[in-house]
Amino acid sequence: MRRAGYAVLPCSLTPGCDRGPAGNRPDFRRNVSWSCDRRLIRLQIVGVTRNRPIVRRRTVKIMRKLRTASLVLMMSIVSACRMYTSVGQTVRYPPGSDYASAQFHLVIGVDGARGRAYADRTLKSVHVTIWKGETKVLERQYRLAAGSLRWNVTWNTLDDLRITFFEYGNPVSGKDQAGDLTRVTRQVFAVAFTFDKTAMSFVEAPAPVAIVDQIAQDAARENKRYIVEIYFEDSADNEVRILREVASLAGSHDLQSKAPPAGLVGRLAEWSAPDFSLAVQRYDSLHQVAVEIQDYGDRKRASDFAGRLRALPGVARTRRCASVNVRSGPQDPDAMVQIVRPIAKEYGLTQMDKKGMFTVARFGTEGLHVTVDFFESDGTIRVSIEDFSWHSEFADIEQALRSGLNADGRGHGAGGV
């Protein structure tokens, strides 16, 4: 269709956009001249020249491309901003008060990992805030690794606020499941606050002397722990042979037999003595049976057991591990890595990819790894050495790590090598 010297297509957006047959301009309020076929492409008015509209055609192909591009952009934005689950609670003091009458408001918020279910075992951000009216008197943030993280608050007096974070473990075997009643709780983290009347704010409550001493003793004992695991291919003959040999070794070292814990699937037998434990564990998923040794003493018994068990037929693999645990501030993990790196380099251990959730650095070769982990919840740094092939330099590396960390003044306890 050609009118007034311009090629014009009918447009559903601007009906009667040119002069009529009598040369008059259409009245857009009343007169809709010429019927439009909506199957045709639409036009967009972009300007007016000499009182005549100039139109530019946008093809269907271009519009489809724009719609596709917009859809792709929206999907990219949504995927980049993955959602996460947040849960929380407000507790008021004094107990039983409402929002208007409460002196203080404790707000606990937990953010799960992005793109993961809250029940998944992931790192979660915990926010603890206390308000007095509109004034914030305490703010703390922690990072905890847990599944479906929950908490319990005890706040009966102003100077005694206790928060315990926990998760539920696996259901107890052999019992009817009734919600969470038959599931074992595992404490993840606990914190206590007291009210400082001088500063009119809340501060971390000091731990009793007895608890501090017990923590120090546990840390020193943990730093002496030497773990040996020997895995065998699972078969009826192997299982009988292993149980017979381990029972003989336990008897010769005056170990006392123990009943395996209820609910621990695959536990075949246990023995123990002061600073020593021994267990036989079946792993059905691996089709293997393992003898697990933990020695907190001079390691003579562990060495004797390992030598005898490794000589048995059917050994699939071995693992031994020792570690040093230290408490430090948030800035110390990098400093710890600077201590470990030259020691690792001296023994030909190169830097590896981080794999663990709390891993700060990792060094190693085939079957021999040194790992630095930082647990932000309690400020603990763990430097561990794992040997999967019974390397001869294991003891030398461990001794070098212990010496380096003790020389830095932050190592606690020194295990035998």
The residue ranking higher by pLDDT, 55 or 361, is 361
pLDDT at 263: 75
Q: Which residue spans of the chain are classified as CATH 3.30.310.50? A: 221-407
Quick check: 139 pLDDT over 60? yes
Lowest-pLDDT choice from 122-131, 162-171, 240-249: 162-171
Residue 300 phi/psi, 5° resolution? -65, -45
Residues forming beta bridges with residue 171, ordered by sequence position: 183
Q: What is the pTM of this model?
A: 0.58
Contact yes or no for 276/300 (Cβ under 8 A): no
Residue indicated by tokens 């507790």: 91
As a whole number, mean pLDDT of residues 61-67 equals 64
Average model confidence (pLDDT) across the chain: 79
The residue ranking higher by pLDDT, 115 or 294, is 294
Half-sphere exposure of 351 (CA within 13 A, CB side): 9
pLDDT at 240: 92
Half-sphere exposure of 361 (CA within 13 A, CB side): 19
Chain centroid offset of residue 51 CA: 68
As a whole number, mean pLDDT of residues 336-361 equals 89
pLDDT in tens, 272-305: 999 999 999 999 988 999 999 999 999 999 999 9
Neighbours of 245 (CB within 10 A): 17
For 233-241, which contacts have Cβ atoms below 8 Å and span 24 or more sequence positions?
Answer: 233/287, 233/288, 233/289, 233/314, 233/316, 234/282, 234/283, 234/284, 234/286, 234/287, 234/288, 234/289, 235/314, 238/289, 238/313, 238/314, 239/268, 239/282, 239/289, 241/312, 241/313, 241/314
Quick check: 42 pLDDT over 80? no
pLDDT at 60: 54
Quick check: 354 pLDDT over 50? yes
Q: Using 50, 70 and 90 to split pLDDT, how confident is the model at 344?
A: very high
Residues forming beta bridges with residue 272, ordered by sequence position: 256, 277
As a whole number, mean pLDDT of residues 386-395 equals 94
pLDDT at 335: 86
For residues 169 and 112, what is the distance between their CA atoms, to the nearest angstrom? 18
pLDDT at 102: 93
Q: Which residues contact 279 (CB under 8 A, 6 or more apart)?
A: 260, 267, 269, 270, 271, 291, 292
Most confident of 37-41, 213-217, 371-375: 371-375
As a whole number, mean pLDDT of residues 139-157 equals 90
- The rounded percent of the chain whose pLDDT value lies above 70 is 72
Torsion of CA 7, 10, 11, 14, to 10 degrees: 80
pLDDT at 119: 85
221-407 placed in CATH 3.30.310.50:
yes
Quick check: 220 pLDDT over 80? yes
Quick check: 9 pLDDT over 70? no
The residue ranking higher by pLDDT, 75 or 40, is 75
pLDDT at 197: 85
As a whole number, mean pLDDT of residues 323-348 equals 84
Quick check: 374 pLDDT over 90? no
The residue ranking higher by pLDDT, 86 or 10, is 86
As a whole number, mean pLDDT of residues 81-103 equals 88
Locate 152 and state its tokens. Answer: 């319990």
pLDDT at 227: 96
Longest dimension (CA), the chain: 120
Q: Using 50, 70 and 90 to split pLDDT, how confident is the model at 81?
A: low
For residues 155 and 162, what is the distance between their CA atoms, to the nearest angstrom? 6
For residues 120 and 101, what is the distance between their CA atoms, to the nearest angstrom? 38
- The rounded percent of the chain whose pLDDT value lies above 90 is 43
Quick check: 53 pLDDT over 70? no
As a whole number, mean pLDDT of residues 371-388 equals 86
The residue ranking higher by pLDDT, 182 or 215, is 215
Q: Using 50, 70 and 90 to split pLDDT, how confident is the model at 226?
A: very high
pLDDT at 363: 96
pLDDT at 331: 54
CA distances from 412 to 148, 305, 324, 382 (A): 33, 27, 7, 11
Name the pairing type of β-strands 160-171 and 52-57.
unpaired
Cα-Cα-Cα-Cα dihedral sign, residues 15, 21, 23, 29? negative
pLDDT at 270: 95
pLDDT at 396: 94
